[in-house]
Chain A
C-alpha cells in the first residue's frame, strides 16, 4: 500500500464530499496565490516559473526507491518556493498536478483538490516558511543556503503527507486503521524527504552559484556593483 501513498492520490480514494471540499480549498488558495503572484511575474521570472514547473514535472516522473517495494518522487514545494517565491511556486506545483491529471492520467481528476492542497499549498507554504525563518543562515554562504534548502524540503514533504492523513481521516476508507495509515504515510515521507532534500539542495546550490539573481530567497542581498579604478573605489 505504501507504493500508492508515495504517489498522487487517485480517483475514488476519498469520498465525493471530501473531494469537493478540498477542490474548494484548492480554488480559494490558488486564487489568493494568483492575485499575489501577478506582482512578481515579469520577463525574467516567467521563464523561471515555466522551467521550475517543467523541472518538477520531469522529476516527478522519476520515482526513486525509498524502501524495498516503496518508491517516492519529488513533491517540489520547497524547491519552487525558494527559486520563484511562495505565490508563483504554489501555481507552478498546481499546474504540474493539473497537467499530470489531464494529460498523463497521474493522480485522479477529482482528487486534484486534495493533491493541490497537500503538495502545492501546504508543501510550498511549509517550505517557504522554513526557508524564510532560516534566511539569515541561507544568506551567509553556499553551505548555509544548501542546508536551508535541504531542511525546507524535508519539512515540506512531511507536512504535505500530514495533509494526506487529515484528508484520509475525513473521507477515506474507514476499514483502514487510521493510526497505522498515518504512521506508514508519515514514515515513508520522512524517507522521501531525504531524497527530496538532496535534489532540492543540489538544484538550489547550482542555481545560486551561477545565477544568484534568480533565487527568490536571496533577493535584495546582492551588493551593488562597485567600480574599482586605480584611484580607489568610484561612486
Chain B
C-alpha cells in the first residue's frame, strides 16, 4: 500500500489538524452543492486545490497515482452516457444520452474533487494528528479509543499475516499470485484470533503504563490566525458557490 501521508514542514503541514478537517468538509460540501452545469465553478475549485498543493509542495504526479483509487467510480461515469435514457445528442457519430452525459460528468467532477480534497488532507496530516484533530473537535472519547486502536492494529494484522505466510512457506506451501488467496482465506479466522491475542497483550501493556484512551495532546488553544488562514480555501469555495448560484 502506498503511504498517503507526505511528511513536510510547509504552512499547510503546520496548520492544526482540526482546522484542516473543517476546511476539507466545508470545501467538499460546496463542491457537491454546485449545479453540474456550472463548469467554470469546478475549474475554480480545482485551481484552489492546485494552490494548496503548491504551498504544501505536493507534486501532481504523487497525487495522480493515489487518485487512481477512484477508478471504479470513473467507469460508472463513463458508462452513463450509453445506458441512461432521454433525448440523445451525437458525439463523433455516436448517439449518447444528454442526461446521461451530464450525470456522468457530475459524478466524475465531484468524485474527483472529493478524492483530491481527501488526499490533500491525508498528505499533509499524519494519521496520529488526524485523531488528535478529531479529539479537539469534541468527538466522543470512546470513538477516539476505537479509532486509535484500529490504526495500531492495522500494522498488527499485516505483520501477523506476513508471519503466517512465512510459516506456510516453511511447511512447503508454494505461494503464487492467485493460489495463495485460498490459503489466506482459510486462515482468516486464525489470523483474527492471533491478531487479537497480540493486540490484547499490547493493550494491557499500554493500560498498565497509564493509557486511558486519549492521545496526549498539546493543551494550548489554537489562535484565531490559524483558523483564518486555514479556512481560506473553504471561504473561496463558498464564494464560488454563492457566485454561480446567483
Contact = CB atoms under 8 A, between A and B. Distances in A.
A95 B146 CA distance: 8
A34 B207 contact: no
A172 to B, nearest CB: 9
A227 interface: no
Interface stretch (A130-138, A153-161, A203-211): A203-211
Interface string A44-59: 1011111101110110
Interface in A167-194: 173-177
A24 interface: no
A67 interface: no
Contacts of A11: 28, 31-32, 110-111, 113-114
Interface residues of B, number: 76
Interface of B: 1, 4, 21, 24-25, 28-29, 31-33, 66-67, 69-70, 72-73, 75-76, 79-80, 83-86, 97, 99-100, 103, 106-107, 109-111, 113-115, 117-119, 121-122, 127, 130, 140, 142-143, 145-154, 156-158, 185-186, 188-190, 192-193, 195-197, 199-200, 202-204, 207, 213
19 contacts: A10-B115, A12-B31, A19-B32, A34-B143, A37-B142, A47-B153, A51-B149, A51-B157, A51-B199, A88-B146, A95-B147, A102-B118, A105-B119, A108-B32, A109-B25, A173-B80, A175-B86, A203-B189, A209-B189
Q: Which 6 A-B pairs have the closest CB atoms?
A: A206-B189, A50-B149, A12-B110, A11-B114, A54-B153, A105-B118
